């Protein structure tokens, strides 16, 4: 019985992490629209980048405030794949880091890599991030 409980707990944590990632992508897309980027599009699962704009590919990482490691991590295999995609499609690469809980803090930095949030530019703080399209709203394209 204990192993079944452990398995269900792990599945719930994976689902919560995945949902937090999707929420982060929607928050990032909304922030990019407000910053004036054109043709903001959230990509499908397993795409090299999370959000694409007309000339930029965006990697989005989302962490909760209670997370022990408050930084972006991109492993080398993923980085090679992402940079090859960006080079092939002539896109600039930028990173978005989102701290999410009751409010969402959004940080942006040029490039792709392992960045701490202190080394990134803070661009927005949202107290009402659950009101953004994508969080329980219908009619979204994926």
Instruction: State the 10-residue block means of pLDDT for the chain, 142 residues long.
Output: 69 72 86 91 89 94 78 89 95 92 88 88 84 54 36
Does residue 115 lie within any of the structural domains? Answer: yes
CATH code for position 83 = 3.40.1350.10
Does residue 80 lie within any of the structural domains? Answer: yes
* DSSP state string for 90-122: T-EEEEEEEEESSSEEEEEEES-S--BGGGSEE
Looking at the structure of the chain, the number of domains it has is 1
Does residue 61 lie within any of the structural domains? Answer: yes
The residue with tokens 């991109």 is: 74
pLDDT at 134: 61
Does residue 98 lie within any of the structural domains? Answer: yes
Does residue 26 lie within any of the structural domains? Answer: yes
- Read off the pTM: 0.80
Full domain range(s) for residue 125: 2-131
Does residue 72 lie within any of the structural domains? Answer: yes
Does residue 100 lie within any of the structural domains? Answer: yes
pLDDT at 81: 94
């Amino acid at each position: 019985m204990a192993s079944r409980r452990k398995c269900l707990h792990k599945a719930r944590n994976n689902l919560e992490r995945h949902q937090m990632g999707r929420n982060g992508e929607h928050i990032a897309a909304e922030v990019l629209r407000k910053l004036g980027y054109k043709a903001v599009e959230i990509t499908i699962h397993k795409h090299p980048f999370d959000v694409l704009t007309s000339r930029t590919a965006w990697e989005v990482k989302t962490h909760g405030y209670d997370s022990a490691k408050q930084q972006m991590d991109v492993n080398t295999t993923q980085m090679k794949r992402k940079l090859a995609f960006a080079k092939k499609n002539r896109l600039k690469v930028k990173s978005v880091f989102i701290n999410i809980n009751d409010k969402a803090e959004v940080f942006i930095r040029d490039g792709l890599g392992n960045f701490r949030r202190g080394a990134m530019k803070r661009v927005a703080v949202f107290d009402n991030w659950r009101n953004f399209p994508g969080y329980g709203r219908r009619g979204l394209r994926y």
